Structure 1
Amino acid sequence: MSTPFWIMVKGSGLAQGDLLHKCLIPKFGEDFGASGEGASESVPVGEADLIIVTQSCDLENGKVDLVALCPVYTLEEFEGENEEFKAKGKWEAVRKGRVEGLHLLGSPRDPTDNRGSLVVDFGQIFSLPPAYLSKLAEACGEHWRLDSPFLEHFSQAFARYFMRVGLPSQIPAFK
Structure 2
Amino acid sequence: MTIENFWVQINEAALRQGDFLPGCLVPIPVFDPTKFGKNSPTQEVEIEIEEYDLIILTQSCDLENGKISRVLLCPIYSISEYEETNQGFKKKGVWNEVLTGRREGLHLLSSPISPENNREALVVDFRQVYSLPYDYVFKHATQLGYRWRLKSPYLEHFSQAFARLFMRVGLPSSIPRF
Q: Bin the TM-score by the shorter chain.
A: over 0.9
Distance 1:33 1:129, change over 3 A: farther
The match for 1:90 among 94, 97, 105 is 94
Residue aligning to 2:27:
26
- Provide the identity percentage: 53
Shift of 1:41: 2.7
Gaps of 5+ in 2: none
2:26 partner SS: strand
Instruction: Give the whole-Å Cα distance in 1 for the aligned partners of 2:124 and 2:100.
Output: 14
1:84 partner SS: helix
Instruction: Give the whole-Å Cα distance in 1 for the aligned partners of 2:35 and 2:12.
Output: 41
Question: Is the Cα–Cα contact under 8 Å of residues 33 and 41 in structure 1 kept in the other structure?
Answer: no
1:17 partner letter: G
Aligned residue-pair number: 174
Matched, 1:49 2:50: no
Instruction: Give the whole-Å Cα distance in 2 for the aligned partners of 1:163 and 1:9.
Output: 32
Matched, 1:10 2:11: yes
Provide the aligned C-alpha RMSD in A.
1.6
Instruction: Give the whole-Å Cα distance in 1 for the aligned partners of 2:54 and 2:45.
Output: 26
TM-score by length of 2: 0.92
Question: Is the Cα–Cα contact under 8 Å of residues 100 and 161 in structure 1 kept in the other structure?
Answer: yes
Shift of 1:111: 1.2
1:116 partner letter: E
Instruction: Give the whole-Å Cα distance in 2 for the aligned partners of 1:33 and 1:24.
Output: 27
Residue aligning to 1:107:
111
Question: Is the Cα–Cα contact under 8 Å of residues 29 and 46 in structure 2 kept in the other structure?
Answer: no
The match for 2:167 among 163, 168, 175 is 163
TM-score by length of 1: 0.94
Shift of 1:31: 2.5
Shift of 1:44: 1.6
1:96-175 equivalence runs, <5 A: 96-174=100-178
Shift of 1:40: 4.5
